[in-house]
Structure 1
């Protein structure tokens, strides 16, 4: 047999080596948990395909609630036209229960304040109340706690509407009664929504003054106030999964909503979207500007964790009180605009029986409601932060974007925007429409300056030629990205989850920034767009067979300069390895990864580090899918 010519032999050896490279294991230190699944593993949206909208009793009445107040506000939703805009959820909060009957464990309703719940023979039922709301075209929500006791029993001790009776009778929470109570709420009473608080896991520790003074049964805390690193996250998650499973068994047909309320604790960022339709990300909001900022900050960098059927929840709207009353309409509009942009639930917390027109006009801002309810389900990405001004950009259906310019501070501010920040072609004319007024605003090409009054938020619909003419940046479609696996870490003292970076910033996987909120950079090269995430992570991207090619420049982020770990990054399509990098370390130049993805339904972006304990940050710079 005649030997092959040297050039052909070289080509054959090169091809053989390439095939071997693709067939080899990712790295000797690859972790089995990062193996690709070949499918989209995020929970399919059922309930709450768009963020829930409606009304909740708590901010208006706390436990001083009654049927007349609730039905009056429900009727106002209908009469003002808010229900036609989507405000259909009417939610009870704490204060409705009387006791847990000991003969059979049944919850009893405080019929003195909910008279329609009184049933002949001394029993009680919310079915007439729920049926009345349903007859008005509205939906009904109820409140409970994941533990044995509720929040009011620790924090509202002067309330006239606390549970009464013996220690056992006053244990009105779900613990030890999950199946029974969920069947009651959904199967018997017909509610559509349940908010499950977590004070029962936090405030009744052995030796706590509130336990001894009030004769409660002590309970080992799974959430330790002011010490989030001590949260028993796995046990908290397991308890909420029990609730979700009970809802699936008892008439909750996939259209019923589970609202998780652990206030951002228990690592809920990692599991909330797999268990409930929304999960609280912060402590309770109050009608103060600083409190609103804290709640907003808890979701502003979490765009990769929200999608249809799974929403970050910075708590209810507090428009109408304190810093957001009718004398502070600039602040009230900012509060509403930020919740709309971040795809947060829009739950009014005001006595709507006496709402002034100025406040009704904010809740009824149809263009902003449409931004919140856009069917793509993308949460706005925080694309720029300069001084006190933050810029949020949200992809909308129909090739549009929503833009919010937010002045956090108490002084006037100016911000200059560029086409690149808006992810538009550099020479593209930018067309703006003011979403508060509905009128066209002056457009620009290249860059433009905007003036903002103290605490003002300007919101625009944006149109223009996209930066990626034949495709999309991954950071433009956060709802199509599922952070399937990433390292866990003890949260910082403020309770927000995420690794603490050199500048004190925290966060999980980020769009257009590192998890430390530093600009994406590898080997000294900056990337305006991309995904930043800790290594030992797996991201799923819903390609849905719509694209031909994936490309990115990958490397170890310069924020991890001190790390000596090596990382290898790989791209899978429907479970098949398509491309991967060589081992990379901090300081190495980024490497281009390109992969054909024609017909691929699910991409998986996997980064495996040699350091399992302290993996560095990796950059998927300029990550995009093109046609």
Structure 2
């Protein structure tokens, strides 16, 4: 585990300084580990040499791994995302999660590991150099918890770090220099899974550290899944296939859309490195922790599954909603993740934030994710041929969230809600004719509505099926008090393949409706040639907007339409601060203080309605001084989906720079900050004195 805030920097600095001092004293590598790894606790010797792998030479095949394990991505639970080191992480919680795995059908769905993260131990080893479980958290000890979990037909996981201390602020004993004795303890307790972190590693080569624990685990004779958690810093996908069963490819996830999206983008290009027994790990699931919408959580779960990622539940299931259980318990989506062929999905396209990711399945079908990164509904399309299916008269298209099957002539297309994912399984199985035709239901025009003024929108129903869609009827509904009226035909007797029904609508929000987001629903019903009823529903978000006043306005004084931020909320007239709202400081770039503006953290986006009445947006921008000198960001101004201005990469060393964009005619202006290409750590950024001229 690690974080995007100052804790990460502090740990790295401490580790680097310690390593530098050891080098100055003539110590390096395993000797350094012995000098600082707590070796004196066990009489001054290091377990690294006992494993026979202190030189760090990795083996060349799966025989080097501790057991023939993880042939599909591990599934289970880990407490860290929901509890961290809080007192609620204890024996009762772990047993309660095991109980719920059985009671809620999660065990039957494939979840089996109940994993303990940091803070399970006392801060010091005992007189014999052994790890000691915290008696307040685990009064019966770890073996008793393992026995309870095993009695449920489940498995237990545990955590430590490949350093002198673990990653929590308290710093519990790490395993560097104690690999053999710690692995033996884990095996004796009945542990089935080890997460091995990366803090306080004293600069010892990553391969040496992780190979040492691999060999120690193998020497116990117990089959233990080995999870390498070195955050992708040393590109483990290039060397760890015979060292661990899975390896983290990124820093820690947090319960935000921006964090999940950033991690997904880092993990997607690594598809060729994944397979049975060796998996890319983009970190644990946040589903149910409350920081994202259910739509975003379905995307999270869909994309982790098509990436063949480990599925480790990170929410406290004792408090989970029915919606959370519905997402994590979707066996059709889980089957995509757990497919025995073991392929990670490949990105076929991603233009404009419209992603198509396809995964080959063992039965010859393809799982296809149509993922919408953007803040408005988007049509995303591909074909059966493009995803790798053979030519056929028709195809069966299964929607894995709707649990419904359709036929298609070869087109694979859907209008996907903002931040949503349509997850499909498409096959040339010859059984397509028994299903109704697939249709795409979409909306032309952004649903931006000024209160009391009619907005004009057009819906479109397109038949993708090999068979015609008959008796087609479209409806459009909104909140109480809204007036939505069709001004052209909303029905059609029949739609052949690739034909569409377009309907014009006026949408009027009540006078006095407050600015903000409102739910609309577009729906079409139809029949197959055999008379079977089918429907398609598209949830939409309309924004009641207010045109900015004439003249120059401070952007931070205007109401925004939406925000996405990489760490905590976007702040008005202060820096980003930490994760809580209102914890920022004065906006400061290169020592210069600014009274007005926005404090953000990459990756971030703030959208404003400009109503085609503004001409120019200007600002002073830079990395805020509140962070250590390692932030790298790029500022961008977008007008109606087109980039209008960009700064290039800026760092803490740069003074505030000017940025200006022509936004003439744009309905929506978006202020974007990206991470500069090196991850989001310390990327606190300021839009200082942003002014919109209208």
Could you tell me how far apart the structure 2 residues matched to 1:240 and 1:448 are? Answer: 43
Relative contact order, higher structure (CA 8 A, sep 6+): 1
Which structure features the higher share of helix residues?
Answer: 1
Could you tell me how far apart the structure 2 residues matched to 1:101 and 1:329 are? Answer: 43
User: Residues 428 and 264 (structure 1 numbering): CA distance in 2 closer, same or farther, change over 3 Å?
Assistant: farther
Could you tell me how far apart the structure 1 residues matched to 2:200 and 2:284 are? Answer: 21
In the other structure, the counterpart of 1:105 is 129
Structure 1: runs of 5 or more not aligned: 1-39, 118-125, 154-161, 164-169, 202-218, 223-234, 467-627
In the other structure, the counterpart of 1:190 is 190
In the other structure, the counterpart of 1:250 is 220
2:147 to 125, 131, 134: 131
Could you tell me how far apart the structure 2 residues matched to 1:101 and 1:307 are? Answer: 38
3-state SS, counterpart of residue 97 of structure 1: coil
**Contact 1:66/1:114, CA 8 A, preserved across alignment:** yes
Kindly state the Cα deviation for residue 397 of structure 1 after the two structures are TM-superposed. 1.8
In the other structure, the counterpart of 2:74 is 52
Encode CA deviations 1:253-302: one digit per residue, 9 max, x unaligned: xx310000011111212112220010001110001111001111122111
3-state SS, counterpart of residue 419 of structure 2: coil
In the other structure, the counterpart of 1:95 is 119
Could you tell me how far apart the structure 1 residues matched to 2:224 and 2:212 are? Answer: 15
1:431 and 2:396 correspond: yes
Could you tell me how far apart the structure 1 residues matched to 2:389 and 2:219 are? Answer: 48
1:147 to 148, 155, 163: 163
Encode CA deviations 1:210-239: one digit per residue, 9 max, x unaligned: xxxxxxxxx4x35xxxxxxxxxxxx21111
Could you tell me how far apart the structure 1 residues matched to 2:370 and 2:412 are? Answer: 13
In the other structure, the counterpart of 1:289 is 257
In the other structure, the counterpart of 2:18 is none
3-state SS, counterpart of residue 174 of structure 1: coil
Could you tell me how far apart the structure 2 residues matched to 1:448 and 1:48 are? Answer: 32
Encode CA deviations 1:329-374: one digit per residue, 9 max, x unaligned: 1111000000111110010011111211111000110101111111
Could you tell me how far apart the structure 2 residues matched to 1:50 and 1:107 are? Answer: 31
1:71 to 95, 119, 123: 95
1:405 and 2:363 correspond: no
1:199 and 2:199 correspond: yes
**Contact 2:161/2:198, CA 8 A, preserved across alignment:** yes
**Contact 1:323/1:331, CA 8 A, preserved across alignment:** no
1:454 and 2:407 correspond: no
Kindly state the Cα deviation for residue 428 of structure 1 after the two structures are TM-superposed. 4.7
1:308 and 2:276 correspond: yes
Kindly state the Cα deviation for residue 103 of structure 1 after the two structures are TM-superposed. 2.4
Encode CA deviations 1:113-161: one digit per residue, 9 max, x unaligned: 11112xxxxxxxx2111111100111000000000011003xxxxxxxx
Could you tell me how far apart the structure 1 residues matched to 2:134 and 2:121 are? Answer: 5
1:355 and 2:379 correspond: no
3-state SS, counterpart of residue 441 of structure 1: strand
- Provide TM-score, normalisation by structure 1: 0.57
In the other structure, the counterpart of 2:635 is none
In the other structure, the counterpart of 1:370 is 335
3-state SS, counterpart of residue 367 of structure 1: helix
User: Residues 138 and 102 (structure 1 numbering): CA distance in 2 closer, same or farther, change over 3 Å?
Assistant: closer
**Contact 1:388/1:413, CA 8 A, preserved across alignment:** no
Could you tell me how far apart the structure 2 residues matched to 1:449 and 1:339 are? Answer: 21
Could you tell me how far apart the structure 2 residues matched to 1:448 and 1:46 are? Answer: 38
Could you tell me how far apart the structure 2 residues matched to 1:405 and 1:61 are? Answer: 33
Could you tell me how far apart the structure 1 residues matched to 2:363 and 2:249 are? Answer: 30
**Contact 1:149/1:200, CA 8 A, preserved across alignment:** yes
1:380 and 2:345 correspond: yes
In the other structure, the counterpart of 1:321 is 289
User: Residues 245 and 113 (structure 1 numbering): CA distance in 2 closer, same or farther, change over 3 Å?
Assistant: same
3-state SS, counterpart of residue 140 of structure 2: helix
Could you tell me how far apart the structure 1 residues matched to 2:177 and 2:267 are? Answer: 32
Could you tell me how far apart the structure 2 residues matched to 1:370 and 1:147 are? Answer: 36
| Map 1:330-349 → 2, pairs under 5 A | 330-349=295-314
In the other structure, the counterpart of 1:240 is 210
Could you tell me how far apart the structure 2 residues matched to 1:448 and 1:51 are? Answer: 27
Q: CA-atom RMSD, angstroms?
A: 2.1
Encode CA deviations 1:80-109: one digit per residue, 9 max, x unaligned: 011111111000000111033352111111
User: Residues 426 and 323 (structure 1 numbering): CA distance in 2 closer, same or farther, change over 3 Å?
Assistant: farther
Could you tell me how far apart the structure 1 residues matched to 2:106 and 2:213 are? Answer: 31
In the other structure, the counterpart of 2:427 is 463
